[in-house]
Structure 1
């Protein structure tokens, strides 16, 4: 873990130098732009998968996981296609292309997730692979990833005024129980250099406690 953090710091310095040499766009417009930058810049030197915490050097066997799913975003905006959503809500392309909302995951786990929403699974069902628990259309992330999920959802809520898809008190508890570590803070710095925005809930964890229920 310490070596990975050091590696990310070195790469972050390289990204910073690149940012000074060129105009960095403030947002990625759409999934295609974001996905290209995701592998070629954000995780160019590898990293760790969100759910299993497995280190990787290439994207083989991996998938990009949108924490606030595209389907959920469309439901919140009450639109059905990319064109319709983009015309109706100009910031839609920013939403689906926001790197703060995207994490690397094992492709097989992402396929199993499909359209499941994050939440707490009732009934005490046993944990599956990498600590994931699943219920009817629900997926409960492992303890080590709950804070990351919560802070990504908080970011999408605060940045784009999207409704929280999980109960606020649950997300606040996940945020407290799994605080941002050095890897997540470095990732936040790198995304800021790439797309010009930060996740405020990583920079100032207390902001999560000030969110009000709607």
Structure 2
């Protein structure tokens, strides 16, 4: 029997700009969104990789579309079956098409972190060249984007009723220590224009403390 995940409505408000604080309702074809909107629009002129901040001009074979809230965990939460089966599930397709959860990531890193849980690992674990700490099934992102990760996690949990992939107090602390910077705000505005909805935890970071 499939689990039914409710959609919180507390933050589902219509803004004066015409944007919605709530779920993605514009897109429901993940493959097309990745090709046309993510790489073809949002990163059409290149950018920097999310975790390592490495500049790129085109996608090439080194980069891939990563998901801060991994798609495998979304499938597990929805209990929609295998990858092929979930692609037939409209709910999964809608969530998997959400640009707020997509980031450009180097292929090798994305393969390593797909099943990891976010956590503070401490100084006993050495950082790699990107400022990442990893240990078994745990993953600590670089300091400069911990808030970005936290605010995306809060958005996915609150908007789609998904479970947190780590301890909520850790994410709240990350959001407090790493408030939205110009790069995050610029990216957020572009996604809101393309997709038609905001991530309220970026525009109002204090909201995460209410969850």
Normalising to structure 1: TM-score of the pair? 0.80
Whether the aligned pair in 1 keeps the contact of 2:28 and 2:90 (CA below 8 Å) is no
Whether the aligned pair in 2 keeps the contact of 1:153 and 1:164 (CA below 8 Å) is yes
Work out the CA distance in 2 between the residues paired with 1:34 and 1:121. Answer: 34
Distance change >3 Å, CA 119–CA 31, structure 1 → 2? farther
Runs of 4 or more above 6 Å deviation = none
1:63 to partner: Cα distance: 1.3
What's 1:20 paired with? Answer: none
Matches within 5 A, 1:152-191: 152-191=152-191
Work out the CA distance in 2 between the residues paired with 1:183 and 1:202. Answer: 12
What's 2:136 paired with? Answer: 136
Say whether residues 1:34 and 2:33 are aligned partners: yes
What's 2:93 paired with? Answer: 93
Alignment length (residue pairs): 186
Moved more, 33-42 or 76-85: 76-85
Say whether residues 1:80 and 2:115 are aligned partners: no
Work out the CA distance in 1 between the residues paired with 2:182 and 2:123. Answer: 34
Moved more, 162-171 or 48-57: 48-57
Q: CA RMSD in A?
A: 1.9
What's 2:71 paired with? Answer: 70
Whether the aligned pair in 1 keeps the contact of 2:144 and 2:178 (CA below 8 Å) is yes
Work out the CA distance in 1 between the residues paired with 2:183 and 2:103. Answer: 13
Say whether residues 1:196 and 2:196 are aligned partners: yes
Work out the CA distance in 2 between the residues paired with 1:40 and 1:115. Answer: 27
* SS of alignment partner, residue 163 of structure 2: coil
Q: Give unmatched runs, 5+ long, in structure 1.
A: 1-24
Whether the aligned pair in 2 keeps the contact of 1:122 and 1:135 (CA below 8 Å) is no
1:91 to partner: Cα distance: 2.2
1:123 to partner: Cα distance: 7.4
User: Of Structure 1 and Structure 2, which has the larger fraction of its residues in helix?
Assistant: 1
Distance change >3 Å, CA 210–CA 111, structure 1 → 2? same
Work out the CA distance in 2 between the residues paired with 1:31 and 1:122. Answer: 36
